[in-house]
Structure 1
Amino acid sequence: MEKDRIFDVIIIGGSYAGLSAAMSLGRSLKQTLVIDSGNPCNQKTPHSHNFLTQDGNTPSEITSLAKHQVEQYASVHFFEGFASEGIQKGNQFELRTQSGDSFFGKKLIFASGIKDIMPNIKGFSECWGKTVIHCPYCHGYEFKSKKTGIFAPADRAFHLASLVNNLTHDLTILTSGPASFSLEQSHTLKKHNIIVDEREIGEIEHQNGQMQKVVFQNGEKLNLDALYAAVPFEQHSQIPMELGCELNEQGYIKTDMFQRTTVEGIYACGDNSNPMRSVANAVHSGNFTGAVVNKELTEASF
């Protein structure tokens, strides 16, 4: 691959959203480069769910098949590496990698995902994606009727409780400190027999990521099979912000209804710009973004 070649589109991130965008562009014969470091956020998750035709497959199986299919389009190229710097030069962009390679593109699509920030709780990160989970749509069915906990800020915990209560009636919200639910929220939780436990979490006991007990700072323990957790995150790539793209109040890349960021010529799709964190949504947003970018490139040259 020629390093100084100008591509129609450079996609940063080669997981579900990035590959989906690449397929849209490849089928429209756009010269496309996908830069990917091979570090997806769901790499610890044993099985992916709630995506038609792929339900129950591993994330790596889905990604491998997707990449194999995208590779059939000759106009799509791949570079394995981490994009570390982006520079806007007139009506095009230069992307530089940690290995010192440079690539040029007329449009940029960031499908770079987000990076979860684990709390300082022993055993938490080892269970993340296995039995410490983030989404009842992605993982809830597998833990139906199990002893389940929720570890999240009050409003988020209340929202999760309304969804998880449909899957199990053995549900405890762990606040790891004084609870801050409103009187109305507390009344609703009590009505559904959802326990609120304010003891501070110290550790999660587990076997190879399969949680067994939550250990509190006072030494007491609670048996749990699964724990829904809402953890803070940061953008996996800092390049969009360095190029001037704005973030919204939640920390996602701000986009309009066509996945355009606040910088002309730059687009974002997948987890970095949408709280609906699922394989299905990533594939959808990537597919749509690829179509939008193809339309704008085509109209500019027609």
Structure 2
Amino acid sequence: MFDVIVVGGGPAGLSAALMLGRALRTTLVLDSGEYRNAPAAAMHNFLTRDGTPPRELRRLAREELAVYPTLEVRDLAVVGVEAAEGGFRVTLSDGTAQWASRLLLATGLADDLPPVEGLAELWGRGVFHCPNCHGFEVRDVPIAVLGSGYRYAELALHLTRFGSDVALCGNGPADLGADMVHLLADHGVAVREEPIARLVARDGELEGIEFVGGPPLARRAIFTGSRLRQRSPLPAQLGCAGFDDGTIEVDDFGRSSVPGVYAAVIAAAASGTIAGGLVDKELLSADLGLPSPLSAAGS
């Protein structure tokens, strides 16, 4: 029996494994090979690894973990888990089973993308969700924001720092109040409300947007949102409490609602990035005359 089985071989799971290996805990990391950032060419806002491909980060992490004798990493998915005497029985995709005293879930989230033709094929390569992660790389190229309502209008305003050619494409009515319409116009953001027919690409590179009616719009980058969901059925199988976005509910120490089950949901290394991002949003909101993101979060 292992002390701990870590389910998930991304940065969160591998970081947890490093801590456990240094504590000489017998630990098995199970990696299904599914990662939320797999489509991205590079990761950003990670000190000393800015611009590193996600695959390379995982390779380097595994290389570091290899020196710890109580750690083992296997490229297998977990297909089932259940409470057993003294811990948990974990069934693997090769038909075998392993046992552990504790489980640490680092299964992550998955994106359900807007149903626009051509969008999924460009996800992470011409269509993005995070301006802090990808905005710098697409500065000074024509940008579109795909979505309607205040959230997407605010995103379009924030993206004007990266270039002067930003358009908000509502894929239908943009659903904005008069004040926001004027604010977008003041910052040179065009608004298109025709339904979107498809995204156009050539040789895997985004070229633009075609609408059901109206002229096409040449774009080199698009930012939009996604609906998040828990990637794995394991938290539900175990009965872990969770939130609407699929995140497992944990206390300050990573403990879930199920005794013996822990979850990695926020990496400590990200705290500086989160704080820096909030400062940036506060400054931008002040510059644009928008409410503070902290007051919006509390309302």
**Which TM bucket (shorter chain)?**
0.7 to 0.9
Check 1:41–1:147 CA distance in 2 against 1; reply closer, same or farther (3 A cut). same
- 8 Å Cα contact 1:156-1:230 kept in structure 2: no
> Could you list the per-position Cα deviations for residues 251-281 of structure 1 after superposition, in whole angstroms to 9, with x for gaps in the alignment?
3222222222222222222xxx46xxx9963
Residue 25 (structure 1) aligns with: 20
User: Which of 101, 110, 120 matches 2:96?
Assistant: 101
1:158 match: secondary structure:
helix
Does residue 10 of structure 1 match 2:1?
no
Partners of 2:147 and 2:256 lie apart in 1 by: 29
User: Which of 122, 129, 139 matches 1:144?
Assistant: 139
Check 1:121–1:30 CA distance in 2 against 1; reply closer, same or farther (3 A cut). same
1:203: how far off?
1.0
Residue 254 (structure 1) aligns with: 249
Partners of 1:252 and 1:242 lie apart in 2 by: 15
2:40 match: secondary structure:
coil
1:230: how far off?
0.6
1:177: how far off?
1.1
> Could you list the per-position Cα deviations for residues 137-195 of structure 1 after superposition, in whole angstroms to 9, with x for gaps in the alignment?
11110011211111235243134234322222211111101122344433432332222
What amino acid sits opposite 1:69 in the alignment? E
Residue 297 (structure 1) aligns with: none
- 8 Å Cα contact 1:128-1:209 kept in structure 2: no
Check 1:75–1:228 CA distance in 2 against 1; reply closer, same or farther (3 A cut). same
Does residue 166 of structure 1 match 2:155?
no
User: Which of 199, 202, 205 matches 1:204?
Assistant: 199
What amino acid sits opposite 1:281 in the alignment? A
- 8 Å Cα contact 2:149-2:175 kept in structure 1: yes
- 8 Å Cα contact 1:152-1:231 kept in structure 2: no
User: Which of 125, 140, 143 matches 2:120?
Assistant: 125
Does residue 67 of structure 1 match 2:56?
no
Residue 38 (structure 1) aligns with: 33
User: Which of 88, 105, 110 matches 1:110?
Assistant: 105
Check 1:93–1:135 CA distance in 2 against 1; reply closer, same or farther (3 A cut). same
Check 1:39–1:172 CA distance in 2 against 1; reply closer, same or farther (3 A cut). same
What amino acid sits opposite 1:16 in the alignment? P
1:239: how far off?
0.5
Check 1:196–1:28 CA distance in 2 against 1; reply closer, same or farther (3 A cut). same
Partners of 2:257 and 2:164 lie apart in 1 by: 45
- 8 Å Cα contact 2:157-2:187 kept in structure 1: no
Does residue 281 of structure 1 match 2:232?
no
Residue 296 (structure 2) aligns with: none
2:158 match: secondary structure:
helix
2:100 match: secondary structure:
strand
- 8 Å Cα contact 2:210-2:217 kept in structure 1: yes
Residue 244 (structure 1) aligns with: 239
What amino acid sits opposite 1:245 in the alignment? C
CA RMSD, aligned part only? 2.4
- 8 Å Cα contact 2:157-2:189 kept in structure 1: no
Runs of 5+ unmatched residues, structure 1: 1-5, 286-302
Partners of 2:185 and 2:54 lie apart in 1 by: 38
Check 1:156–1:227 CA distance in 2 against 1; reply closer, same or farther (3 A cut). same
Partners of 2:6 and 2:69 lie apart in 1 by: 16
- 8 Å Cα contact 2:148-2:173 kept in structure 1: no
- 8 Å Cα contact 2:113-2:120 kept in structure 1: yes
1:238: how far off?
0.8
Runs of 5+ unmatched residues, structure 2: 275-299
- 8 Å Cα contact 1:212-1:223 kept in structure 2: yes
User: Which of 175, 179, 195 matches 1:180?
Assistant: 175
Partners of 1:91 and 1:160 lie apart in 2 by: 49
Check 1:279–1:220 CA distance in 2 against 1; reply closer, same or farther (3 A cut). farther
Partners of 2:203 and 2:67 lie apart in 1 by: 38
Partners of 2:268 and 2:221 lie apart in 1 by: 21
